[in-house]
Every structure is written in structure tokens, then in C-alpha cells.
Amino acid sequence: MVKAILPAVRALIVLTLLVGVIYPLLVTVGGQVFFAREANGSLIEVDGIIVGSELVGQQSDDPRYFWWRPSAVDYMQGSNLEALGSSGATNYGVTNETLDTLVTERQTAFVDANDLPDSVDVPAEMLFASGSGLDPHISPAAARLQIDRVAEARDLDREQVADLVERYVEKPQLGFLGEPRVNVLRLNIALDALE
């Protein structure tokens, strides 16, 4: 019995070293050497301060910024660093009453905030929370609907803001992968730089 179990013990130790230590270290070395920025979280610094990651969205209700999507975890953002939770989603089903209420509220809020006609089709991502709660993107349509508000709040020329938005529209990767989208953090930072 013991003799039969011994190989299991040895195999587990050897394989733990191989795939649990050597393998991640190899990937870390490779990543850090070739793709240091990406391997470390694609952080964005403005004036020496880390303002976030290019890949992680944020929360804002400041009319001067383009807004991100609704988030179940408020983009892990808050005043108390210790109390920030993890990424997360609502996991509401489509027949969930709460979701129904939330969507109606968000619809009204978005239309009101951006002073849009009632008939406007609010892009779905602005009504529904993302899966990670950290979605850094919105659709170009959702960005365009916010142009007037942002331009007004910043006292900028509408065209100027609109141009900026178009410049930040990302096409599908390699020409066919994914959806066209706007990285809101990068757009907002560019917006700040505009002033």
C-alpha cells in the first residue's frame, strides 16, 4: 500500500515544482522582458500619479467626463481602500423584477442627464451592468450620445469633442475580432489634456 502510494507523493512534489513554480516563473520572466507594461497591469500615470489601468473602467457621474457602464460593484472604487470588494456582476436573470426597475431608472437617468429625446434608443450597455463590473469600454453610439453633455459641461466646442470621440473609437481587432468600442478612461484623459 505504502509502496504504491509513494509514486503519487513523488509525482505530486515533482509536478508541483515544475508547473507550480518553474512554469509561472518562466512566464513571468518572459512577460516582464517582452511585455513589461502589459504584464504589470497596463497602468496609466498622469503627472506621476497612477490614475488607473487602461483595461479597467471607473465610475463617474461628473458631467465633464464620459460615463462608463453601470456596475454591480461600483468599479471597485470608493473612498476606503480597505473596504473595496472584488470584481462582480449582478447575475440578474432577464425576468428579474429588480433588473426591470433598474433598467427603467437608468433609461430615464441617461436620457435626462444627456438631455435626449424620449424616443432615443439608449445603447443596451448603458442600461445593463457588465459582467466584470469593470468594463472599460462603451459603444461608440453610447459615447456619441454623451458628447453634447460633456462639451457643454467643459465649455468646449461640440465638434472638437466629437472629433476626439471618433479618434478613440477602436475598430475590431485584426479587422474582424470583437466589437467597435471606446475606451472611456483614455478618452477622458485625452479630454482632460484638451483643456
Least distance from C-beta 53 to other proteins, angstroms?
Answer: 5
Least distance from C-beta 1 to other proteins, angstroms?
Answer: 9
Rg (CA), the chain: 22
Least distance from C-beta 68 to other proteins, angstroms?
Answer: 10
Task: Using the minimum distance from each CB to other proteins, give the nearer residue, 38 or 112.
Answer: 38
Least distance from C-beta 180 to other proteins, angstroms?
Answer: 9
Task: Using the minimum distance from each CB to other proteins, give the nearer residue, 99 or 162.
Answer: 99
Task: Using the minimum distance from each CB to other proteins, give the nearer residue, 35 or 166.
Answer: 35
Joined together, the cell numbers standing for residue 127 give 442600461
Task: Using the minimum distance from each CB to other proteins, give the nearer residue, 142 or 147.
Answer: 142
Task: Using the minimum distance from each CB to other proteins, give the nearer residue, 106 or 152.
Answer: 106
| DSSP-derived pairing of the beta strands 43-46 and 137-138 | unpaired
Least distance from C-beta 155 to other proteins, angstroms?
Answer: 18
Contact 159, 118 (CB under 8 A): no
Distance CA(72)–CA(106), nearest Å, equals 13
DSSP labels, 20-67:
IIIHHHHHHHHHHHH-HHHHTT-EEEETTEEEEETTS------TTS--
Could you give the C-alpha distances from 183 to 3, 55, 92, 179, in angstroms and in order?
59, 8, 25, 12
* Strand order across the beta sheet in which 181-183 lies: 137-138, 181-183, 169-170
Distance CA(76)–CA(71), nearest Å, equals 9
Task: Using the minimum distance from each CB to other proteins, give the nearer residue, 20 or 159.
Answer: 20
* Helix, strand or coil, per DSSP, at residue 182: strand
